[in-house]
């Protein structure tokens, strides 16, 4: 089992995910998708997560949070790079705290860990996206000092459009 990382909350422990955690990671992904009203978009499987998170070329890292030994939350993140800063960064793809675990400092502890990791890795930034309607998350992030990037719009290529461009 991966080494636990101490937190300031005596009932909370954090640790990096390992291969045996793939079913738990998928459960967290599905929980997040339900919360975001996007369950219909989840095509992740245990096999795909096993390959992409713990295979030959891991694409992301996962931190797990446990409250009194019970799974409470996860954060999935990966490295980025800023050409303007000429420094690496971390991108938080997903952060999900189970509804019954909210309000205990679990999400804050995960973000604080990622901030420490970003500083240790000499990153210039820690970034993430939040749905416009998610007022509780936006309010929470702003209490940490995070701010919205005005003037930027996220674009995405998927499916047939991605295939067409790849073939061009």
**DSSP label of 4:** P
The CA distance from 16 to 21, in Å, is 10
pLDDT at 1: 66
pLDDT at 153 over 90: no
What is the average pLDDT score of the chain? 95
Q: Which residues contact 36 (CB under 8 A, 6 or more apart)?
A: 131, 134
The CA distance from 78 to 52, in Å, is 12
Contact (Cβ atoms closer than 8 angstroms) between residue 73 and residue 64: yes
Q: Tens of pLDDT along 12-50?
A: 999 999 999 999 999 999 999 999 999 999 999 999 999
pTM of the full predicted structure? 0.93
> Both tokens of residue 54?
């713990």
* Active-site pick, 35, 81, 113, 141: 141
Give the pairing of strands 70-82 and 126-128.
unpaired
Q: Which domains does the chain have, with CATH numbers?
A: 12-167 (3.40.630.30)
SS3 label, residue 10: coil
How would DSSP label each residue in 74-103?
Answer: EEEEEEEEETTTTEEEEEEEEEEE-GGGTT
Please say if 91 is a catalytic residue: no
């Amino acid at each position: 089992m991966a080494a636990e990382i101490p937190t300031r909350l005596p009932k909370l422990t954090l640790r990096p995910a390992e291969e045996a955690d793939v079913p738990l990671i998928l459960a967290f992904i599905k929980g997040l998708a339900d919360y975001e009203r996007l369950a219909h978009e989840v095509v992740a499987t245990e096999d795909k997560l096993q390959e992409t998170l713990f295979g030959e070329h891991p694409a992301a890292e996962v931190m797990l949070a446990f409250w009194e030994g019970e799974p409470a939350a996860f954060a999935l993140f990966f490295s980025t790079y800023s050409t303007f800063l000429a420094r690496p960064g971390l991108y938080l793809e997903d952060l999900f705290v189970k509804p019954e675990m909210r309000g205990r400092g679990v999400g804050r502890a995960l973000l604080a860990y990622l901030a420490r990791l970003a500083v240790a890795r000499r990153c210039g930034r820690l970034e993430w996206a939040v749905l416009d309607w998610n007022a509780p998350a936006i309010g929470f992030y702003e209490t940490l000092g995070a701010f919205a990037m005005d003037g930027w719009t996220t674009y995405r290529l998927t499916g047939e459009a991605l295939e067409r461009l790849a073939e061009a």
